[in-house]
Structure 1
Amino acid sequence: MSTLTSGPPRKGLRPPGPGRQHALSLLWRMNKNRIEVIAEAAKLYGDATRIPLGPKTLYLFNHPDHAKYVLADNPLNFHKGIGLQHARKVIGDGLLTSEGDRWKSQRKTIQPVFNAKRINAQLGAVADEADNLVKRLRTHIGQGPVDVRSLMTDLTLGVLGRTLLAADLSEYESLGEDFEAVQNQAMFEMMTLNAVPTWTPLPMQNRFRKARRNLMDVVARLSAERRAHPTPDGDDVVSRLIQSTERETDRVRALGSMRDDLMTLLLAGHETTASTLSWAFYLVDKHPEVAERLHKEAVEVLGDGPMSLADLHKLTYTTQVLEEVMRLYPAVWLLPRIAQEEDEIGGYHVPAGADVLICPYTLQRHPDFWEDPDRFDPERFAPGRASGRARYAYIPFGAGPRFCVGNTLGMMEATVVLATVARDLRLSAGPHFEAFGEPMLTLRIRGGLPMTVKAAG
């Protein structure tokens, strides 16, 4: 393991790792299963590891002190890196991928939409969408399996539209498929190191170009609709972005910026929560004792009436379940950075331009900080159990100045939906179904999540 000191470079140790002769085979394996390669490297070489990857070398740091240094203590030296850099080519320069003054301006524009008072006021809309999901699921009782991953995408897009955009996204039927094509393209760009132009007539490229056109159209229509029909208070994201463009003298640049911001929000605003909920339903099904306790809490707290903020705060076990889901399967499974100047992390020298990885997936399974780390155990997050735990051993929403701006809404949404479904229904994937992670921009369940539906109790 590494010595845990960080600071100005002094040409420290070179992190251990596989030799350069393995670079091509590792590149091939990364294309097949990125998480497996990264987890294996952490297990074999410790908290600081070099991973040769084709012409690149990745520097994986896997200790809470490393995460703190890169994300919180010295974030100005570590800009968004591999994967997110390539995502910029397909989703633009939005809040997820931008840096410096551009990022600060975007964050300042969007931050008020996520203040606690406004988010609390969205509980009714979130609960309404959860009730609609239950009604939709009820139609499948006694029928064959339904793809829960797809339903979660529809649900979270519905919540996103109502709570942040003041818009109905249900009329844009291909949104989920379009964002999947965008994610696929971003990962393709990363693994091929941008070597294949997007105009090439490959099937994936064709799907991406069509998806991008569709998404550009959605963004344009949302903007045009809001300009034609302003909301009374103007505190939704679309209104705020329109207001911010009015101050720009370069209209083309301003409209392009608004397009990028909306595109990023549409992708990040639904995909992370959809992923978390999908994994939650899968893991709850695999642990009947958790399912029973969830159901009991939901019945006791929610009853048959509408959900209140007081009810939300009483769903303590539901929250524990979600926190444990996010520990094992964090939607944002990788936080890639690029060192702007040479640095030192944990006693190891990091050259300027190096690709630095902080991986919540491996960090949150680190055996030095989590007992029996691969076991699903919501009791880890029971009151008092976190005492003494390293602060940066658990970072499902990131850390530092780029801590996820939507974490409060995301947790509210996931809690409301999981409790509402657990109160009324039981979803089952069957004893022989095994879910595998698909590490894209988010960590989703590969191939979907087919589950049957029956009444709870």
Structure 2
Amino acid sequence: MSATSIHPPVVRRPPGPSRASALGLLPRMMRNRLEVMAWAVAEYGEAVRVPLGPKTLYLFNHPDHARHVLADNAANYTKGIGLTHARRVIGDGLLTSEGELWRKQRRVIQPVFQAKRLARQVDAIALEAEALVDRLREHSGQGPVDIRQEMTALALGVLGRTLIDADLGAFEAVGEAFETVQDQAMFEMMSLGAVPLWLPLPRTLRFRKAKRYLQEVTDSLAADRRKNPNGFGDDIVSRLIESVADEPDQQVGRERMRDELVTLLLAGHETTASTLSWALHLLDQNPEVRERVHEEAVEVFSRGPLDSAALHGFTYTSMVLEEVMRMYPPVWLLTRIAREADEIGGFAVPAGADVIISPYLLQRSEKWWPDPDKFDPERFASDRRAGRERYSYIPFGAGPRFCVGNNLGMMEATIVLAALCRDLRLASVPDQVVEGEPMLTLRVRGGLPMTVTAR
């Protein structure tokens, strides 16, 4: 008989603060969620049990832990804390749905992101990028521009043209409506849905108005598509109309279309806008990197109009974006709930436990990333990728629920960043404090004012 069978591995409870000593963590979490989670990992290690109000969170910060929860045993984990509460706000879209509904939605949406279709979107993205460059050039030598706001408008414009085949600029309040919905979703996540939506609070009233407006936008897009003499296309609105055609209750069909479209646009534009904002900030802090991106952009654009093959020329720009997403991953937090009791890395996880994987923490771990707070795009050079732990880098999640729009997001970010660096130089405002705001994505808190200089 082996020693292993005589003395089986000990499965123990993750370490962490006592419930009494953790009483002060909830208000700290409200102020700075990243700081509290970083403290917990630094204090207790790669597996931490954190009592937080009525909940106990199980935070895991090792690539093997991420692989187990997100991929190897993904069937045991449903969407977790935050997203289950955000469902009251954004409904049962792809981000929050589960089971057969999620699988059906994924089948409906997946073809929109296929490589052949994305290849046809390069020109649309390039046109939006050039329009952005022209808008920003008008501010050259003048006062600062809020780059986060500009990137948000750009990303919505790109998604309108590539996913919806419509100009979202025709709906003037759509950006503000998305901002209101996101704010309410984060409030739901942090308050654990404890505040009834029927209370006529100012926040709730703004949310109700935004939700009604987004329903009107969805109805308008669907009506325009139904009137198209050429029939339905391969865009997401067409596919959603067809997917709810057999729904016996038309109101349910309308709401399902709205939920799915709002989820796609909200998550899609926020991730790209955040990545581009952080990229421009980091390039300003590292001018030698910015100049390399500029030189590469000048060389690639000089070959003629962009197509999918030309994008392979942006090798260094892609490395820059990968490093940006390592430091500031758009998906900064992945939450799950254990269906059944499990074991993760030798630690016991009870059934019903709230499990957290944070790409932000994992991708800043010194164990996997030497000098993790240094901005170094060379980390993603081909010769330095070899041997790296696969699940130490998960900016788009992993496993079955890997972000469906990651390829579109990367293509968009690459084209836009290259176009900006080719023609403009963006600089931070003196004494501007730039810090992360962990919302649905990890965005720049309070905006990102920068001055513009034409090259």
Quickly name the TM-score band, shorter chain normalised: over 0.9
**Bigger Cα displacement from structure 2, 20-29 vs 68-77:** 20-29
Report the CA distance between 1:430 and its aligned residue: 3.4
* CA-CA distance at 1:250 after TM superposition: 4.0
> Equivalent residue for 1:5?
none
Q: Does 1:93 find its partner at 2:96?
A: no
Q: Within 5 Å, which residues of 2 pair with 1:409-420?
A: 409-420=408-419
Distance 1:443 1:408 in 2: 19
* In the alignment, structure 1 residue 59 sits paired with structure 2 residue 82: no
Q: Which moved more, 1:235-244 or 1:176-185?
A: 176-185
SS of aligned partner of 2:16: coil
Gaps of 5+ in 2: 1-7
Which residue of 2 is the match for residue 4 of structure 1?
none
Q: Deviations over 1:322-341 (max 9, x none)?
A: 00000000011000001111
Look up the SS of the partner of 1:21 in the other structure: coil
Residue in 1 that maps onto 2:298 = 299
343 and 383 in structure 1: CA distance in 2 versus 1, 3 angstrom threshold: same
The alpha-carbon deviation at position 253 of structure 1 amounts to 2.9
1:144 alignment counterpart = 143
1:84 aligns with 2:83: yes
Per the alignment, residue 363 of structure 2 pairs with 364
Cα RMSD of the aligned pairs, angstroms, is 1.5
Query: Could you tell me how far apart the structure 2 residues matched to 1:232 and 1:212 are?
Result: 28
Q: Distance in 1 between matches of 2:342 and 2:106?
A: 27
Please give the residue correspondences for 1:354-393 in structure 2 after superposition, counting only pairs within 5 Å. Answer: 354-393=353-392
SS in 1 for 2:216: helix
Please give the per-residue CA displacement for 1:170-211, whole angstroms capped at 9, x wherever unaligned: 011222222121121112112222111122232222222221
Q: Report the AA paired with residue 143 of structure 2.
A: G
Map residues 97-112 of structure 1 onto 2, 5 A cutoff: 97-112=96-111
Q: Which amino acid is the alignment partner of residue 375 of structure 2?
A: F
CA distance in 1, matches of 2:379, 2:298: 23
Greater shift, 74-83 or 128-137, is seen at 74-83
Map 1:299-318 → 2, pairs under 5 A: 299-303=298-302, 305-318=304-317
What secondary structure sits across from 2:21 in the alignment? Answer: helix
CA drift of 1:83 comes to 1.2
CA drift of 1:393 comes to 0.3
Give the superposition deviation at 1:304: 7.6
* Counterpart position of 1:406: 405
CA deviation after TM superposition for structure 1 residue 222, in Å? 1.3
In structure 2, how many angstroms separate the alpha carbons of the residues matched to 1:359 and 1:17? Answer: 17
Find the aligned partners of 2:332 and 2:288 in 1 and give their Cα distance: 27
Residue 288 (str. 1) matches residue 283 (str. 2) = no
Tell me the alpha carbon deviations over residues 296-332 of structure 1, each in whole angstroms, 9 at most, x when there is no partner.
1111111284223232111101000000000000011
* Alignment of 1:334 onto 2:333: yes
Could you tell me whether the CA contact under 8 Å between 2:336 and 2:356 is conserved in 1?
Answer: yes
Deviation at 1:227, TM superposition (A): 1.4
Aligned counterpart, 2:48: 49
Secondary structure at the counterpart of residue 52 of structure 1: strand
Q: Does the Cα contact within 8 Å between 1:230 and 1:239 map onto a contact in 2? A: no
Q: Tell me how far apart the structure 2 counterparts of residues 309 and 198 of structure 1 sit (CA, whole Å).
A: 46
Task: Indicate conservation of the 8 Å contact 1:231/1:239, yes or no.
Answer: no
Instruction: Write out per-residue CA displacement over residues 93-146 of structure 1, whole angstroms, 9 at most, x where no aligned residue.
Output: 000000110000000011111110100110000000000000000110011000
Aligned letter for 1:261? E
* Number of residues of Structure 1 aligned to a counterpart in Structure 2: 448
Find out whether 1:257 has 2:256 as its counterpart: yes
The separation in 1 between residues aligned to 2:397 and 2:230, in whole angstroms, is 32
Q: Is 1:179 equivalent to 2:183 in the alignment?
A: no
- After TM superposition, the structure 1 stretch with the greater mean CA deviation from structure 2, 142-151 or 223-232, is 223-232
The 2-side partners of 1:304 and 1:317 are apart by: 17
Instruction: Name the SS of the counterpart of 1:110 in structure 2.
Output: helix
Separation of aligned partners in 1, 2:123 and 2:387: 37
Which residue type is aligned with residue 44 of structure 1? Answer: E
Encode CA deviations 1:38-84: one digit per residue, 9 max, x unaligned.
11111111110011111101100000000000000111111111111
How many Å separate the matches in 2 of 1:343 and 1:162? 44
Contact 1:333 1:361 in 2 (8 A): yes
Conservation of the 8 A alpha-carbon contact between 2:429 and 2:449: no
**What code does the residue aligned with 2:170 have?**
E
Deviation at 1:246, TM superposition (A): 1.5
> In structure 2, what is the equivalent of residue 209 of structure 1?
208
CA distance in 2, matches of 1:94, 1:208: 17
The answer to whether residue 424 in structure 2 is matched with residue 425 in structure 1 is: yes
TM-score between the two structures when normalised by the length of structure 2: 0.96
